[in-house]
Chain A
C-alpha cells in the first residue's frame, strides 16, 4: 500500500472499518433469520426488507439506553473492557485478505507480514482476558461466575484451536495468511490439472481439521452448545449482566465482529479465501463467510447447552488428542508432498 490515499480509504471505508462493521450487522441478520427459519418462526421482519435493518435498530436503541455503572464495580476496568472486546477482533480483521483496492482481481490484506497468523490467534485469545476482566470487575455475583466460566472455557478450546489452525500453515510453508491463501489457490489448480492420492489425503486431513476448528469456534463465540458463560437461565447473562446502554452496544458489536473474524479465518485457512472464478474476490469472500455463518448458526440451534465440567473434560478427552493427531498427519503429508 504505497499511496496514502489508498491506505486511508482501505482502512476507513473498504475493506476496513465501515465494510467490516456493516458486514458484521449483516452477519447478525443472517444468523438470526436462519435460526428463526430453522425453528419454524419468522425472525426479524418489519424493519427494512425482511428485517435486514433490525441489527442496526437494536444497536441504535442500545446507544440511547441509560448507561448504569454499579456502585460496587471497579470503574476503570469495567468501563474499558468493552472497548477492548470491540477493538481487538476489529484489528485482527485487517490481516485477513478480502479485496485489493488497486486491482480488481487481487486480494492483499491491509496489513500483511510474515507470522500474522500468530498475531490473529493472539488477538483472539486476549479478547477472553478482556471478557474475564469485564465480568470480574462488575461487582456482581453472576458476573463473577460468568467470568470464571469464560476463563475455564478458554483452557478447554484454545489448544485445539491453535493446533488445527497451524495445519494449513505447515502445508503452505508460511505463517502469513495471504501466502496460505495463495498456496491453496495454487494447489487446487494443480489438483484439478492432475489429481493425485496425496491431494485427496490432504483434503481429508484438512476436513477433519475444519470440523475441529468449527467446534472450537462455537466455544470461542459463546454459541450453543458452549454458551456456558452467558447461560441465560442459570446466571442471567453471565459476565455481561451489569452492562447496559453504550457499553452493551459495544459488546454486541464486538460479538458480531468476532463472528465475522471467525468466519473469515475459516474461509482464509480452509476454504481458499476470497479466490474463485469469474466473480471479484470480495463477492467470493461474502459468499464463503455467509456460508460459514449459516453452518455455525445451524450447529448452534441444534444442541442443548453443556455443563462446564462436561465441556472441559470432553475437550481434553476428545478434541486435544484429535487435534494433535491431525497436526501429525499434516506434518507427515507435507513431508511427502
Chain B
C-alpha cells in the first residue's frame, strides 16, 4: 500500500448496507484500489436447525432465511423434498406457486429500484416507488395472510386457494403496477442526475462475468443469458410465454434495465396465470409425521437475485438428514468485488446495491469437519487458495 492510500471500512454497520457485511476498501484519494470482503455476520445456524425438525416445520424455517426472497426459498425447498420423496403435486398448485413467486419478484424488484434510488441520493423516487409497491404487498396480504413470509407452498401443493371472484380486481392492480413501472422507466431514462450516476459505473464485461460465475439479473445485465426459468424450466414455466431479458450494458444502468423489464414480464406472467389457471385440488395430503423414503434431490429455482439451489438428503426419517442452501448472492460476490475496483468512493453504495445483495441468504460459510472435529470460517482469500489447491490435484 503506497503512502497516498488509506483504508476505509464500509460495514458491518453502514447506511449503504441493508444487512451487515464487512468490506475493507483501499483507496487512493477518491479512487478505489482494492476490496476485501468478509462475510458471515448474518449466520444463524439455519441448516443445523433444519436437521432437528420435521419437513412441515422446516417449511417455516426456510421461509425465514430471507425476508425478500422467502417464497423463492420455500418453492425450492418444497421442490427438493417432493423430488426426493417422489411426490407429484396437482396442476392448480403449480399455477398458484408460479403466481405467488412472480408477485414476490414484483415486490422485490420494486424494492430494489427504491433502494437504488436512495443510494444515489434520490429519496423522492425511493418514496414514490415504495408507495406503489404497497399495492403488491396488500394484494399478497389478502391472498396469503401476511405481507412478508407468505407460507403459501407446502409439501404436496399450496396451502390456500385463489378465489375466482377476485380475479378482475387482481387484473386491475397488476395493470396499475405496469403503468407505474413504465412511468419509472421514463423517469430513469430522462432524469440527467440518475444517468450521470448510473452510466458507466461498475462496468463488468461478459467474459469476466462468466469467469467470476455471476448469476441472476447481475449476470444478465452484462449479456449472459442465464435465466433458470428459460434454460431449465421448473413448475409450468415452459408453458408460459414471456421474454428472456438480458442486455449488454454491463453497468448499473444495465442492472436497472434488466430489473424493470423483468418487472413488466412478471406482470405479464401473473396475468397469464390468472387467465389460464385450471380447476382442481390444491394439495396432496402430507402428514407432518410422514417419513420420506431414502434419497436425495437438488432443485434449482430462479430467485429474484439469481440461481437458488436447495439440496436435501433424506435417510428415511421424517426429518432431513442434511439440507444445504446455496443462495445467489454468494455467487455474485466475486463479480461485485471486480466491479468495485477502479471506481470512486461515491460509486460504492450504488454498485453494492446494484447486484441486489441479500446477505441474509448468503451467510452459510462455517465449515465443520466431522472426522477431524474442527470448525473454521474462511475469508475469501483462503477460500480461493483452497479452490486452487483442489483443482490443481
Contact = CB atoms under 8 A, between A and B. Distances in A.
Interface stretch (B231-239, B291-299, B345-353): B345-353
Interface string A294-337: 00000001111111111000000000000000000000000000
B30 A227 contact: no
Nearest to A302: B124
Contacts of B124: 38-39, 301-302
A310 to B, nearest CB: 6
Interface string B337-365: 00000001111110000000000000000
Contacts of B15: 232-233, 236
A145 interface: yes
A41 interface: yes
A: interface residue count bin: 20 to 34
Contacts of A232: 15, 121
Interface string B112-143: 00000111111111011001000000000000
Contact of A307 (B118, B122, B344): B344
Contact of A236 (B14, B131, B197, B345): B14
Given A233-B16, A234-B16, A304 B128 contact: no
B6 interface: yes
A44 interface: no
B148 interface: no
B: interface residue count bin: 20 to 34
A199 interface: no
B349 A234 contact: yes
Interface string A226-242: 01100111111000000
Contacts of B122: 303-305
Contacts of B8: 141, 145
Interface string A49-87: 000000000000000000000000000000000000000
A40 interface: yes
A335 B307 CA distance: 72
Contacts of A302: 124
A304 B191 contact: yes
Contacts of A234: 16, 345-346, 348-349
B14 A308 contact: no
A231 B124 CA distance: 15
Interface string B90-121: 00000000000000000000000000011111
A83 to B, nearest CB: 28
A165 B346 CA distance: 32
A304 B346 contact: no
B194 interface: yes
Nearest to A236: B15
Contact of A304 (B6, B131, B194, B347): B194
A295 B173 CA distance: 35
A225 B193 contact: yes
B121 A310 contact: no
Interface string B1-36: 000001010000011100000000000001000000
A32 interface: no
Nearest to A231: B121
Contacts of B120: 304-305
A307 B196 contact: yes
A258 interface: no
Contact of B346 (A40, A231, A303): A231
A41 B126 CA distance: 12
Nearest to B345: A234
Contact of B344 (A38, A224, A309): A309
Contacts of A39: 123-124, 127-128
Output the residue of B131, B193, B348 with the most chain A CB within 10 A.
B193
B30 A309 contact: yes
Nearest to B29: A148
B196 A40 contact: no
A313 B344 CA distance: 15
Nearest to B191: A304
Contacts of B345: 145, 234-235
A307 B127 contact: no
A231 B118 CA distance: 11
A222 to B, nearest CB: 12
Contacts of B14: 236
B196 A306 contact: yes
Contacts of A308: 30, 346
Contact of B121 (A40, A141, A233): A233
A304 B197 contact: yes
A40 B127 contact: yes
Contacts of B127: 39-41
Given A145-B345, A232-B15, A234-B348, A305 B121 contact: yes
A310 B16 contact: no
Contacts of B196: 306-307, 310
Contacts of A228: 346
Interface string A257-278: 0000000000000000000000
Contacts of B125: 304
29 contacts: A38-B124, A39-B123, A41-B127, A145-B8, A145-B345, A233-B15, A233-B16, A233-B118, A233-B119, A233-B121, A233-B349, A234-B348, A235-B345, A301-B123, A302-B124, A303-B191, A303-B193, A304-B120, A304-B191, A304-B193, A304-B194, A305-B120, A305-B121, A305-B122, A305-B193, A306-B196, A307-B197, A309-B30, A309-B344
Among all A-B residue pairs, the 6 with the closest Cβ atoms: A305-B121, A304-B122, A304-B193, A307-B346, A303-B193, A233-B349
Interface of B: 6, 8, 14-16, 30, 117-125, 127-128, 131, 191, 193-194, 196-197, 344-349
Given A39-B123, A40-B128, A306-B196, 13 more contacts: A224-B121, A225-B121, A228-B346, A231-B346, A234-B346, A236-B14, A304-B197, A305-B120, A305-B197, A306-B197, A307-B344, A309-B30, A309-B344
